[in-house]
Structure 1
C-alpha cells in the first residue's frame, strides 16, 4: 500500500509539473502571437543580395537568358549576386572546368545588369577535428585559396563571397584568411563578403558546448554559431556580412517571424555600423512542415527594424536564398512587402 501511495504521489507531482510547463508554453505562444499581429512600419531597402546557382558560371547560356536575368535583377533592385563558382577542392583550388562560362557571364552582367555586383561564391565544408574537406588551419591551403580568388578577380568578378561551414567562434585561421583576402580584394578595388550562421542565443554557453559536445557537421554536433565578439571580428574584416538566418525549425509563423525579428535587431545593433549586412530570407520549400516562408521572414525582418532606435550607419538589406527556388509569385511578394516605394 505504501508503495502504491508513493507512486500515485509521484505521478500527481509529475502531472502538475507537466501542466505547469504546458501552461507556460501556451502563454509564450499567445504572447508571441499577439506581438506578431501589428503590421510592421519599417520598409525595406534597395540594397539586397541573391544567391545564384552554379550553372551561370559553369554552363553556357543564350542571350535571352542573360537578358532575362538582368531584367530580374533590375526589377527587384538586387545590388549583389553571389554566383556559385566552387566549391573549393580539399587543396584550396577550383578546377577550371567548373567555371568555364565565368567570363561570358561577367560580360553579360555588364551589358544587362550594369551596376549590379557579380561576386564569386566560394566555399566548402571546413575541416574541424578531423571531419570535413578543406583544412583552413593549413597555411598552404589558405595560400591556394587566395591564388584561386585571384583567378576569379582576374575574370572580372566584383568580389569574393566566402561560405565555409562550419565556422566556430574561436577560428583564428578563418579570421586570418579574411584579413589576407580583404588585402587582396581592396588592392583590386573589389569586395569581400562572407556568409555566416546566425548569432548564438547565449554566448556564455559556448564553453559548455566545447567541453561536452563534439564539433563537426551534423545533428549530434554543437551548432557553429558566432558569438558577438566573433561576429564583430568578422565584420571588421569584410565589406559585407550575410547572415544565414533561414532554415528555422519552428512550428508557427509567429515564432518563425519572431526569430527573424530578433536576429535582425540584434545583428544590426551589433555590426550595422561596421559593415553592410544582408539578412538571409528563404524561398526554398521548408521540410517537415515547418512554418518558415518568405512572407513571414520579410515581415519578421521589418519588425526587427521597427525595434531599432535608429537605422544602421552602413547599408543593409535582405539576401534571398535562392535564385533557383524563387517563384514569380514570390518575387512579386518580395517587391510588395520589402522594396521601398519609388518616389514619383
Structure 2
C-alpha cells in the first residue's frame, strides 16, 4: 500500500509539473502572438520604390503572342513601376544547354518589350536543381557543364536579353562551383554591358543555425538541410551580382502579424547587409501558399515597409520588391500593390 501511495504521489507530481509546463508554454505563445499583433497594427510610414522586379512565365519566350498581348503587358509593367522582368527561359538541361525550341519566341518578345516597355530590362531567367550528394539534375562541379552554361548565357544575350538571372537550387554557403560560375558569368555580362542577377533563399535568423540545420536534416537527396545563405556568402554573391533577389515567401507562419514580422525582419537584415553593395529585391508572393490566411501580397508588402521603417538610413543602392509571379497576380492585387507600395505622386521615390 505504501509503495502504491508513493507511486501515486510521484505520478501526481509529474502530472502537475506537466500541467504547469504546458500552461507556461501556452502563456508564452500567447504573449508572443499578442506582442506581434500589437506591433503589426500601426500603419508603416515608409512607402515603396519605383525599382521593382517581376518573375514572368515561360510562355512569353516559348509561345507566340499577339500585338495586343504585348502592348497590354508593357502597359502593366509601366503602370506598376516594374524595372526588371525575369522571363523564365530554361530550365537548363543536365549538360548546361537549353534547347532552342524552348525559347523560339524570345526574339519577338525582346522586340515587343523594346517597343511597348522601353527602359524595362528583360532578363533570361535560367536555373535547375543543383546536384548535391549525387542527387539532382545539373552538376555545376563539372567544368564542362559550367562552360556550356556560359555558352547558353551568351546565346540569350545574343538574342537581346538585358541580363542573366540565375535560380539554382539548392545553393549552400560552401558551394565553390556556384561562385566560380558567378565569377565567369559576371565577366561575360559586364563585357557586354548587361546584368547578372541571382535568386537566393532567405538567410537564417542567425548564421550559427547552419550547423543545427545540418544536424537535424541530413543530406539525403537533392534538397536536404535548408540552403540558407550566411552573411559572408550573401556579401560575396552581392559583390558579384548586379541584383540579388531574396525568395522571402513561403513563410509557413500561422498569423498575419507573424508573417509580416518575417518580411520586415528579412527586409531590414538584407538591406543592412548588402544594400550598399548591390540592388536588392525582396521577393513577395501573389500566389496562394499553404497557409493562405496568413501570407499574401498585402501582408508581404506591409511587412517590407515595416522593415524599411526600421532602417537607420536608406541603402546606398536601389532596392524594391520582386513580385512572384506574373501568372498569379490578379488585377485586384496589382491595384493593392500600387496603392500600398508605390510612392505617392508628391513623394520622391526611395531607392
Shared fold per TM-score greater than 0.5: yes
Aligned equivalents of 2:245 and 2:178: distance in 1? 16
**1:204 deviation in Å?**
1.1
Q: 1:203 and 2:207 equivalent?
A: yes
- Give the one of 316, 337, 344 matched to 2:319: 316
Per-residue CA shift, 1:117-146, capped at 9, x if unaligned?
A: 000000000011111100111111111100
Partner of 1:325, secondary structure, is: coil
- Give the one of 98, 112, 121 matched to 1:94: 98
Change in Cα spacing, 1:237 to 1:217, as seen in structure 2 (3 Å) is farther
Change in Cα spacing, 1:246 to 1:217, as seen in structure 2 (3 Å) is farther
Partner of 1:161, secondary structure, is: strand
- Tell me if the contact between 1:250 and 1:290 (Cα under 8 Å) persists in the aligned partners: no
Q: 1:183 and 2:175 equivalent?
A: no
- Tell me if the contact between 2:135 and 2:222 (Cα under 8 Å) persists in the aligned partners: no
Q: 1:237 and 2:240 equivalent?
A: yes
Farther-moved stretch of structure 1 (126-135 vs 2-11): 2-11
Show the counterpart of 2:32.
28
Show the counterpart of 2:270.
267
Show the counterpart of 1:171.
175
Aligned equivalents of 1:128 and 1:256: distance in 2? 30
**1:286 deviation in Å?**
1.8
Aligned equivalents of 2:72 and 2:30: distance in 1? 48
Change in Cα spacing, 1:271 to 1:87, as seen in structure 2 (3 Å) is same
Structure 1 gaps of 5+ residues are none
Farther-moved stretch of structure 1 (191-200 vs 221-230): 221-230
Aligned equivalents of 2:174 and 2:265: distance in 1? 24
Per-residue CA shift, 1:1-29, capped at 9, x if unaligned?
A: 22222111111111111111111111111
**1:248 deviation in Å?**
1.1
Per-residue CA shift, 1:263-298, capped at 9, x if unaligned?
A: 000000000000000000000012244510010100
4+ residue segments displaced more than 4 Å:
216-219
Change in Cα spacing, 1:333 to 1:56, as seen in structure 2 (3 Å) is same
Farther-moved stretch of structure 1 (165-174 vs 184-193): 165-174
Aligned equivalents of 2:222 and 2:161: distance in 1? 33
Residue correspondences, number: 343
Aligned equivalents of 2:210 and 2:301: distance in 1? 30
Partner of 1:163, secondary structure, is: strand
* Superposition RMSD in Å: 1.3
- Tell me if the contact between 1:128 and 1:216 (Cα under 8 Å) persists in the aligned partners: no
Aligned equivalents of 1:330 and 1:176: distance in 2? 39
Per-residue CA shift, 1:286-341, capped at 9, x if unaligned?
A: 22445100101000000000000110000000000000000000000000000012
**1:202 deviation in Å?**
1.9
- Tell me if the contact between 2:132 and 2:222 (Cα under 8 Å) persists in the aligned partners: no
- Tell me if the contact between 2:172 and 2:229 (Cα under 8 Å) persists in the aligned partners: yes
- Tell me if the contact between 2:51 and 2:82 (Cα under 8 Å) persists in the aligned partners: yes
Show the counterpart of 2:340.
337
Aligned equivalents of 1:169 and 1:112: distance in 2? 40
Aligned equivalents of 2:295 and 2:326: distance in 1? 17
Aligned equivalents of 1:166 and 1:50: distance in 2? 21
Q: 1:133 and 2:137 equivalent?
A: yes
Partner of 2:264, secondary structure, is: helix
Show the counterpart of 1:50.
54
Show the counterpart of 1:222.
225
**1:71 deviation in Å?**
0.5
Partner of 2:327, secondary structure, is: helix
Q: 1:286 and 2:289 equivalent?
A: yes
Aligned equivalents of 1:190 and 1:216: distance in 2? 38
Per-residue CA shift, 1:97-124, capped at 9, x if unaligned?
A: 0000000000000000000000000000
- Give the one of 119, 122, 128 matched to 2:123: 119
Show the counterpart of 2:17.
13
